Structure formats: structure tokens, C-alpha cells
Amino acid sequence: MEFGGFKGMINDLIMEMIKYYSGDSHQIQHFIKVHSYSKLIGTREKLAPDLLEILEAAAIVHDIGIKPSLEKYGRCDGRLQETEGSPIAEEMLRGLHFNQSVIDRVSYLVAHHHTYTNIDGLDYQILIEADFLVNLHEDHESKERAEAVLNKIFKTKTGRELCCHMFLKGGRIDGRIE
């Protein structure tokens, strides 16, 4: 471990994921961006430290199921990512000595990060918002699509602000121009 505590564990996890996706700069860039937005939203929304740890770890490994899905099935739709990713994430986190409670919740988030119903916690909500922020950009989505996602998915004040400023030039937040 680079240095003790939570930050050291997160940095070690980032390095493990970079090795896991060695040669695939797109996937590495993706999870780094999702982690960054997750941390920003989580901090601004005053997420409790234990939930922030879970959120950061989940953001780093959320797409870990893409690689085995492509290898096994030749495709990597959201459902396959959720199914294939959870056990690999658990193994990686266990190898880095994360607490079992963190491993359990991260595994759950990885297994549900493409499921947008029954969101059962602020960590889950923020992970989805951060992933959408990155995906809207990477997929070159339209302003109309961004606004639809904003209205349907985004719940946190910070996530909504980011989405508006990134894709709607300030746009509408709660019906008013920002």
C-alpha cells in the first residue's frame, strides 16, 4: 500500500484497475472520470465518510464486468456488466484488504449500476449520476437527451448542477434558468 488509510487503499485500487485494463485507455479514462465526479458530488452532498469510501471504491470498479463480458459473450451490455463484474470486484477489493462491509456494498452497487429503479441509497444515486455525466459526454449525446436524463435520473443538487453546466450551458435547474 502506498500510504495508510482510506486514501492509500483508494490509490491502490486505482492502480489495480489500471493494471486490469492495461492497454485500454478508454476504460481507464472512464473509471477515473466517474471516480472524480463521484467524489465531487459525494463531498458536496456531505456524504458520510463511510459512504464516501464505498462510493469511491464502487466508482473505480463499476465497469469491471466489461472485460469478462466481452471475453465470454462478445458483448458487454449493462446486465452482463452487472452479473460478471460483481465477483471480480469482490476479489480485487478482498485482495487489497478492504473491510467486508465495504466489499459487500460495492459488490451490490457494481451488480446494480445499470438498474435505475429502487435506488436504495445516496451512494447508489451518486454513482449513477457520475456515470451518466461521463457517458453523456463520451457518447456525444444531444442536449435533448441530456435534459431528459437530467429530469429522469438526476436527484442530487450537485449532480443536477453539473449536468446543466456541462450539457445545457447553465440550462434549467428545477424549472429556472441558472
Band of residue 34 on the pLDDT scale cut at 50, 70, 90: very high
Q: Is the pLDDT of residue 173 over 70?
A: no
Domains of the chain as residue ranges with CATH: 5-177 (1.10.3210.10)
pLDDT above 70 (res 126): yes
pLDDT digits (tens, 9 = 90+) for 40-90: 999 999 999 999 999 999 999 999 999 998 899 998 888 888 888 999 999
Nearest partner of 67 among 99, 20, 103, 123, judged by Cα: 20
CA distance linking residue 168 with residue 155, whole number of Å: 16
